[in-house]
Amino acid sequence: MCGIVGAIAQRPVTAILLEGLRRLEYRGYDSAGIAILEASGGLRRIRTLGKVARLAEEVATDPLSGTLGIAHTRWATHGEPATRNAHPHVSHDRCAIVHNGIVENHEALRREQIAAGHVFTSETDTEVVVHAIHDELAGGQSLIDAVRRTTARLRGAYALGVMDAQDPGHLVAARQGSPLVIGVGFGEHFIASDVFALLPVTNRFIFLEEGDIAELTLDRVRIWDRDGNEVERPVKTSSLAVDATERGEFRHYMLKEIFEQPRAIADTLEGRLSGNRVLPETFGSQAAELFAGLRAVTIVACGTSYHAALVARYWIESIAGLPCQVEVASEYRYRGHVVPERALFVTISQSGETADTLAALRLAKASGYVATLAICNVPESSLVRESDLVFLTHAGPEIGVASTKAFTTQLVALLLLTLNLGRCNGLEAEREQNLVAVLRSLPGKIEEVLRLDARIARLAEAFVDKHHTLFLGRGEQYPIAMEGALKLKEISYIHAEAYPAGELKHGPLALIDEQMPVVAVAPNNGLLEKLKSNLEEVRARGGQLFVFADHQVPMDESDGVVVVRLPETQDLIDPLVFTVPLQLLAYHVAVLKGTDVDQPRNLAKSVTVE
């Protein structure tokens, strides 16, 4: 949450910082701000409520110019979205900071600082940090020492960018629990919450480690670790294209990302299959050895990634024959739990920076699992760097806050994992070959489903004036129904719930009337007849049914029943194929309702706070 960008250069940095913020806006967008050290030696800042575009307008009417600056786009935690709470925060016109994270002991520090005479102008947890750094500077400390001494007193999580108006030659950055990268240029250096922000100015990055503090000058970057030792961190070159995060001809990122799924899935499969077998080293060179003796799998994730884990539980138990437990990270990390014998611990995350998922991984590493595996879309993310084994999904940058292509590529990763685990646990080679052949057909099947876009856009009209929607599925389709409901509520703000269809009669049936559309996912599998009976229960009570059905499913349209036919698929890939129409449905309902599809209210893409 919150995006940070900063620069020290020989050229003016305002435009670089604003472009960086625009690229980081998926991290939070309720307010934004920028502080620049101007040539006159004065620190000037502009902050606005709302999006980065609004900040850019203000800056255009009141230009800022200088070669040292920091900027921020906010997702509110402490203090409502308001200009006074927007970053950068400044102390005594001298020190300015941007912060991502939560300072847990801010109340105690605030009391101390008020007693010492500081006047607070915001309700944020961040303001105590800037006053503390200012006091150190005023006491004669250098900027780097002032930050070091201040961070030593902080509890919680932070990524910080700090500047001192009296020291135009330095920009200081610190990281603990929130991501931060350094962009390495020629005679200029940058900081940002992720690499995308800086792609227009560099493709060379240093990824700070937990507890690192860095001092940037025009021609040098020095880094100290949490113990105060000066360290060398490698400079890595990114192959991401500058325009990797552009929207192209699509109206929204979300739509672009939905349509990118055939490519993203093909890219994720590439290099992982040989003939009709999954390559043994797909999950790392030690994977085959580690997987051999496994007796159980635990998967932990948040949000959409959690739904991918729920689908995988069905696959891992039924195909690989291993018991699999799945839990949301925020629950897992705070309860006593028994680690199953010889178990693999898997995390799933698009960003690799989700605070709860990271905390769960750290807990698991100290709990006696055989190994930890991260399934993640961002190389060099914290989750990737801290796990024993890694599988990178190749979805490409996902900008829309509601996750789409990251989800389907996670499912691909989980299918490959299932087959690899199965092989170590008695899955016959012939079955594996058949399953891989099905997997290879996936990009083409998704292409076919995307052709339903116009039909689904028309269907969306039936949902626009509704306040509630129920999603039903059985088996692996139950988590897909959950994902469909999540998509709808995230971007259209319609309350949506998912139920396993067999549970309908135990409560939710009481809600059914003509104001409550019911969406069902009905592949042609062994549970179809059971599902149809459940749908009859809805019909009999006047509910409006929208059924996404395999083209072979015998089900006719009638009054109150709309059937959308999907291409014929195989059981294995049904969850992926049926996800796509639900994504499209949510998208078109949101467009009709006129919501902010890519940046829905109150949400952020990368949740780096608890």
| Footprint of ligand G6P (CB under 6 A) | 302-305, 349-351, 354, 357, 401-403, 603, 605, 607
Q: Is 18 exposed, middle or buried (0-12, 13-18, 19+ CB in 10 A)?
A: buried
**CB of 357: closest distance to ligand G6P in angstroms?**
5
Q: Do residues 380 and 207 touch, judged by C-beta distance below 8 A?
A: yes
Q: Which is nearer to ligand G6P, 300 or 322 (CB)?
A: 300
Q: Which is nearer to ligand G6P, 46 or 603 (CB)?
A: 603
**CB of 358: closest distance to ligand G6P in angstroms?**
9
Q: Which is nearer to ligand G6P, 302 or 521 (CB)?
A: 302
**CB of 584: closest distance to ligand G6P in angstroms?**
17
Q: Which residues contact 73 (CB under 8 A, 6 or more apart)?
A: 2, 3, 21, 24, 25, 27, 28, 29, 31, 32, 52
Q: Which is nearer to ligand G6P, 354 or 418 (CB)?
A: 354
Q: Which is nearer to ligand G6P, 14 or 492 (CB)?
A: 492
**CB of 376: closest distance to ligand G6P in angstroms?**
8
100: nearest Cα among 350, 432, 351, 388: 351
In the block, which residue shows the tokens 């179809």? 528
First to last CA, the chain: 10
Q: Which is nearer to ligand G6P, 176 or 304 (CB)?
A: 304
Structure tokens at 450: 């995307």
Q: Which is nearer to ligand G6P, 44 or 605 (CB)?
A: 605
589: nearest Cα among 457, 439, 477: 457
**CB of 18: closest distance to ligand G6P in angstroms?**
24
Q: Which of 51, 405, 445, 605 is catalytic?
A: 605
**CB of 41: closest distance to ligand G6P in angstroms?**
42
563: nearest Cα among 524, 604, 589, 595: 524
In the block, which residue shows the tokens 């006074």? 84
Q: Which of 2, 302, 324, 424 is catalytic?
A: 2
Mark whether 2 is an active-site residue: yes
250: nearest Cα among 74, 416, 539, 450: 450
Q: How many residues does the chain have?
A: 610
In the block, which residue shows the tokens 């900071």? 97
In the block, which residue shows the tokens 């005479």? 117
Tell me the torsion sign for CA atoms 406, 408, 411, 415.
negative
Q: Which is nearer to ligand G6P, 357 or 569 (CB)?
A: 357
E strands present in 166-220: 171-176, 181-184, 189-192, 204-207, 213-216
Q: Which residues contact 519 (CB under 8 A, 6 or more apart)?
A: 469, 470, 471, 472, 481, 484, 546, 547, 548, 582, 585
Q: Which is nearer to ligand G6P, 75 or 546 (CB)?
A: 75
**CB of 25: closest distance to ligand G6P in angstroms?**
13
Q: Give the whole-angstrom CA distance, residue 134 versus residue 150.
A: 10
C-beta nearest to ligand G6P: residue: 303
**CB of 602: closest distance to ligand G6P in angstroms?**
10
Tell me the torsion sign for CA atoms 563, 569, 572, 576.
negative
Phi, psi (rounded to 5 degrees) for 383: -60, -40
**CB of 604: closest distance to ligand G6P in angstroms?**
6
Checking phi first, is residue 377 left (phi over 0); if not, alpha (psi -120 to 50) or beta? Answer: alpha
Mark whether 424 is an active-site residue: no
- Which residues is 565 bridged to in the sheet? 549
546: nearest Cα among 473, 478, 609, 606: 473
Catalytically annotated residues: 2, 605
